[in-house]
Amino acid sequence: MLTLWILVLVGFGAFYYAFTGGKVTRHLGFLHFFFYFFAIYWGAYRLYVAGGSVNDRFMFSVLAYPVLAAAGMVLAQGFGRRTTFQPTLLRVDRRELWLVAGTVAFFLVIYSVYLRSLGSQIPLVQLLAGGEAKEARLARYLATKGYTAEAAGGLRVFYWLPRVLIDYFASFVVVFTYCWAKSRPRGGVVRFWIIFAGLVVVCLLDVQKHPALKLFVVLLLCHFNFTHVRLRLRTLVTAAWTLSASVLFAGLVYGIVSGTIRSASVGSFANGVQNVGELGWDLLSTRGVVGQTQPLYVTYDIIPREYDYFGGRTLTNPHGILPYESVALPYLIFDHYNVTEPGIQGSDPTVFFGEVYANWGLAVAFASMIVFGFVMQVLHDRLAANIEVYGTAFDVAFFYMVLVYLADFALSFSTLWFDERVWFFVLLYFARKRIAGLLAKPTRSPALSLAR
């Protein structure tokens, strides 16, 4: 099994490099596969052996996914071109700038109502005021999952709508303003860092690590793609400092949300940097490598041994309109092997095919792997072609936002037909098409290039 684990890892890496022409960081699936191999694949063999090497369905599913997703990507080539893009010297259309600014203002108004409803229970405010991490975690649960219908006038939209901003639109804004700063040498960089810092604070207000870390990763990936075309040996130096910066940023975020940043910063500056780096490394090497693999292992272990296949009942059932009572699979998996503080319900999501397996079994899970690779490649072709044709910062930012959304399927699953994020993407895309007009006669930007 170890030999097979290594062969799949090396084989997929070689395939992906050849499939993208070495431009792996410019493919729509890059972060998805990066998260999968880091958060699922890397720790899977260790969990499999620690569990007695008996959960074969789990291990074979983990090994099968890269192979079947690659098959889906190859199949998609019959429906479109394999495209990449050169995101440099992109123009910022004024109409698109106003559309983005107006959308940000809308979200900030909604988010202000959200914060107003929390009052003194804003988790980050509690930590910064010297509160205990345990109290902040409880405040985070009440703010994100355990809120009451009476708060904010009984409108839960003020709670879930800001998640669209925090989880995805913030990444769009970071890339868009990065392109904007590139096009405006005077004062553009200062404005960008002010906006970026503000978005990081917004992401950290409910003391969740993942959104802020994603924001930083997207910024590093965007910057890397502006300076490098292909992943080569000489780019490994840049990749090394990028990863080092990610570890430090992860430690800083983890220190803030866990309330340990005060103790980590004691002593000299060098000592503080070392402590923050250790916090980041601990987070990535424990929660990052095993944290998402464990719920997938448990899913394959208890289904169908303890629970029958759910047949779709774990999917969203908004307002009970579908003829079944929804089962919160991440809650069920978490409760199976975790003990939490009183009053807090934990959640353990995992890679998308784990939930597909829990509902319909192994064969459908394998089929979903092929479908995901196929859809991802079709989307890549379409969005990369838009960048080539219209050549504006909006197209690049939209590409990265969808890239982040697909990346999260390596860590969780969402019911697509009732996913406010998907509908927001669609609305934003067509709002741009209507308001900015996409220009009646799109012109190919001379600063862009398309590679097969």
pLDDT of 9 above 90: yes
Q: Which residues contact 358 (CB under 8 A, 6 or more apart)?
A: 299, 303, 307, 309, 310, 314, 329
Spacing of C-alpha 50 from chain mean position: 29
* Predicted confidence (pLDDT) at residue 167 exceeds the cutoff of 50: yes
Give the whole-number percent of the chain exceeding pLDDT 90: 31
- Predicted pLDDT at 155: 53
390 membership: H or E segment, kind and range: helix 362-390
Average pLDDT score over residue span 156-183: 85
pLDDT at residue 30 tops 90: yes
Among the residue ranges 76-85, 303-312, 401-410, the one predicted with the least confidence is 76-85
Count of CB atoms situated within 10 Å of the CB of 18: 10
143: closest CA among 125, 129, 131, 130?
A: 125
CB atoms within 10 A of CB 265: 15
- Please tell me the predicted confidence (pLDDT) of residue 282: 66
Q: Residue 223's closest CA among 204, 242, 205? A: 242
Compare 220 and 401 and report the one with higher pLDDT.
401
Residue 86's pLDDT is what? 63
3-state secondary structure 151-188: HHHHCCHHHHHHHHHHHHHHHHHHHHHHHHHHHCCCCH
Taking only the tens place, the pLDDT of each residue in 359-404 is 999 999 999 999 999 999 999 998 988 888 777 889 999 999 999 9
Q: Give the DSSP H/E element, type plus range, for residue 450.
A: strand 450-451
Q: Which residues fall within 8 angstroms of residue 163, CB to CB, at 6 or more apart?
A: 421
Amino acid 142: pLDDT? 57
Helix ranges (H only) for 37-78 are 42-50, 56-76
Least confident of 78-87, 146-155, 314-323: 146-155
Preceding amide of 304 cis, omega within 30 = yes
pLDDT value for 440: 43
Report pLDDT for 448: 37
Are residues 287 and 251 in contact, defined by beta-carbon separation less than 8 angstroms? Answer: no
**At CA 226, angle to CA 221 and CA 232, rounded to 5?**
75
- Tokens 């779709």 sit at which residue? 312
List 84's β-bridge partners, or say none. 451
- Residue 242 to residues 80, 179, 217, 245, 246, Cα–Cα distance (Å): 33, 19, 9, 5, 6
Q: In the structure, what pLDDT confidence band is assigned to residue 343 with cuts at 50, 70 and 90?
A: low
Q: Which pLDDT belongs to residue 445? A: 43
Q: How far apart are CA 250 and CA 247, in angstroms?
A: 5
Share of the chain above pLDDT 70, in %: 69
3-state DSSP of 268-322:
CHHHHHHHHHHHHHHHHHHHHCCCCHHHHHHHHHHCCCCCCCCCCCCCCCHHHCC
How sure is the predictor about 95, in pLDDT bands with cuts at 50, 70 and 90? confident
Residue with the bigger pLDDT between 1 and 402: it is 402
**384/85 Cα distance (integer angstroms):** 6
- 178 closest CA partner among 100, 260, 120: 100
Q: Which residues pair with 91 in a beta bridge?
A: 392
Whether 324 shows a pLDDT value over 60: the answer reads yes
Grouping H, G, I as helix, E, B as strand and the rest as coil, residue 109 is helix
Token duo for residue 44 = 């899977």
